[in-house]
Amino acid sequence: MPELPEVETTKTSLLPLLNQRVKSVQVRDSRLRWPIPEDISRLAGQRLTSLKRRSKYILAEFETDQMLWHLGMSGSFRVATAADELRKHDHLILTFDDGTELRYHDPRRFGCILWLNEESQIKLLNPLGPEPLSEDFNADYLYQKLKSKQVGIKIAIMDNHVVVGVGNIYATESLFNLGIHPAQPASSLSKPQILALVQEIKRILKFAIELGGSTLRDYTNAMGENGYFQQTLLAYGRAGEMCVNCETLLENLKLGQRASVFCPQCQPLKRK
Question: In this predicted model, what pLDDT tens digit does every residue of 178-215 receive, in sequence order?
Answer: 999 999 999 999 999 999 999 999 999 998 888 876 54
Domain ranges of the chain: 4-125, 139-262
- Annotated catalytic residue 23: no
CA–CA gap between residue 263 and residue 247 (Å, rounded): 9
Percent of the chain whose pLDDT exceeds 90: 81
Tell me: pLDDT of 225 over 60. no
Q: In CATH terms, is domain 139-262 a member of 1.10.8.50?
A: yes
Distance CA 20, CA 137 (A): 35
Q: What is the pTM of this model?
A: 0.89
Annotated active-site residue in 6, 8, 11, 56: 56
Residue 272: pLDDT over 60 = no
Asked about 2 being catalytic, the answer comes back as: yes
Name the active-site residue from 47, 258, 264, 270.
258
Q: Candidates 3.20.190.10, 3.40.50.261, 1.10.3720.10, 3.40.250.10; correct CATH number of 4-125?
A: 3.20.190.10
Mark whether 154 is an active-site residue. no
Indicate the residue type of 157. I
User: Tell me, what DSSP letter sits at residue 15?
Assistant: G
Report pLDDT digits (tens) over 129-139. 999 999 999 99
User: Which residue of the set 3, 8, 101, 200 is catalytic?
Assistant: 3
pLDDT of residue 215: 46
Annotated active-site residue in 2, 5, 130, 185: 2
Q: At what angle do helices 168-178 and 191-210 cross, to 10 degrees?
A: 130
Query: Of 167, 163, 158, whose CA–CA distance to 229 is shortest?
Result: 167
Q: Per-residue pLDDT tens for 110-130?
A: 999 999 999 999 999 999 999
